[in-house]
Amino acid sequence: MEFYQLFFFLLLINMHTFPADASLYPTLTVIPNQNTTMRCNIMGKEEVAWYLLTSSDDFTLLISAEKARTRKILPVHYNKDEKRFILEPDSEVNTAIFTIINITPDDLGLYFCGTKPEFKYQMNFIKVIRLQFKENKEELITCVENKGEASWCEVALMFGGVGAAALLLLLTTVVACTVIRRS
């Protein structure tokens, strides 16, 4: 019975879908307790919102605004933390400038800028930025990018994924053979 519980646990781990590799997105490196800004093109859009996806898979609306029809302003209609989050337009209201004041470890993750055109109900995520702290280079082992070749980190991840898939296939085969033999 314990073997089957292990099998189903491994199956559930394998079936869990994770967001795309965060290293593929542009990275904004910040210093703790400092401020940072992120920009999003909102030309031709009526609404803009910034969301945060954390490492614990929490997807949170941080701030949102809708363009005014009569003046060139961007009034905010939701702000999760008014003391720390600011959303301002440029002079022509073509770019939304999102500012985070006093960055903390809770602010690290993937930031998504979503826009919505007039008379549409679907939010389109047009920009993703990964926010991370500046780290001490002596403590951090990094992948060296080779032009046209996979880095050693990429190779290790590929073989690790293939190894996990092979292990899952082997466990599935053993369980199937055990079930067939007992039948």
pTM of the model: 0.61
pLDDT digits (tens, 9 = 90+) for 73-84: 899 999 999 999
Contact at 8 Å (CB) between 75 and 82? Answer: no
pLDDT for 145 = 45
Nearest-angstrom CA–CA distance, 31 and 110: 16
Domain borders along the chain are 22-133, 143-182
Each residue's pLDDT, cut to its tens digit, for the chain (183 residues) gives 555 454 444 444 443 333 455 556 788 999 999 999 999 999 888 899 999 998 888 899 999 999 887 788 899 999 999 999 999 999 888 899 999 999 999 999 999 999 998 777 888 888 899 999 887 444 334 444 444 455 555 666 566 666 777 777 777 888 888 888 887
In CATH terms, the fold of domain 22-133 is Immunoglobulin-like (2.60.40)
Contact at 8 Å (CB) between 91 and 27? Answer: no
pLDDT digits (tens, 9 = 90+) for 31-55: 999 999 999 999 888 899 999 998 8
When computed from its CA atoms, the radius of gyration of the chain, rounded to whole angstroms, is 23
With 0-12 / 13-18 / 19 or more C-beta atoms within 10 angstroms meaning exposed / middle / buried, residue 162 is exposed
Dihedrals phi, psi of 172, to nearest 5 degrees? -65, -40
pLDDT for 11 = 43
DSSP 3-state of 70: coil
* Partner residues linked to 51 by β-bridges: 61, 112
